[in-house]
Amino acid sequence: MQSSSPKLRPTAWDSLIVLAVIVLAIGTAIVFYGGLGGGDHITVTITHRGETVEKVMLEALNEEKTVTIDGTYQLTVVLSRDGVWVSESNCPSQDCLHTGTVSRAGQSIVCLPEQVVIRLDGKSDGPDIILG
């Protein structure tokens, strides 16, 4: 009776699999930990009665962009690299005008009567929640 243990020698295929695991692991970790730059992008999302009407990255704006919301009330929203503000509104509360310019991730402008939310998202060292 002959006892023998098979000799396992890595082949080129094994190396390929190891390489694939390494690439996938690094790739997943980079995505999860938010690497590869892009840290300061701020995306502006404007929703009107639950529907997204505009979504744009602030830094992608080369000039001021105007978005008009037309419903029971009319709002004019101005977007620029420096921030976002409501320039005109005929809603009764005028809270959206009073809010002024928002430019940092986490900030928002809300028009309750017309159910418009202008929200800035992105990486930020700022607060998680704004109260008041």
Q: From the list 64, 87, 101, 123, which residue makes contact with other proteins (rule: CB under 8 A)?
A: 101
Residue 16 binds other proteins (CB under 8 A): no
Residue 35 binds other proteins (CB under 8 A): no
Tokens encoding 65: 């962009």
Q: From the list 16, 40, 112, 123, which residue makes contact with other proteins (rule: CB under 8 A)?
A: 112
Q: What is the DSSP letter of 102?
A: B
Q: From the list 1, 12, 36, 131, which residue makes contact with other proteins (rule: CB under 8 A)?
A: 131
Query: Residue 119 and residue 106: Cα distance in Å, rounded?
Result: 7
Q: From the list 20, 31, 57, 60, which residue makes contact with other proteins (rule: CB under 8 A)?
A: 31
Query: Residue 132 and residue 129: Cα distance in Å, rounded?
Result: 10
Residue 93 binds other proteins (CB under 8 A): yes
How many angstroms separate the Cα of 73 from the Cα of each of 90, 93, 103, 114?
6, 11, 24, 6
**Residue 78 pairs with which residues in a beta bridge?**
66, 85
Positions touching other proteins (CB under 8 A) are 18, 21-22, 24-26, 28-29, 31-33, 47, 50, 92-93, 95, 98-102, 107, 110, 112-113, 115, 117, 126-132
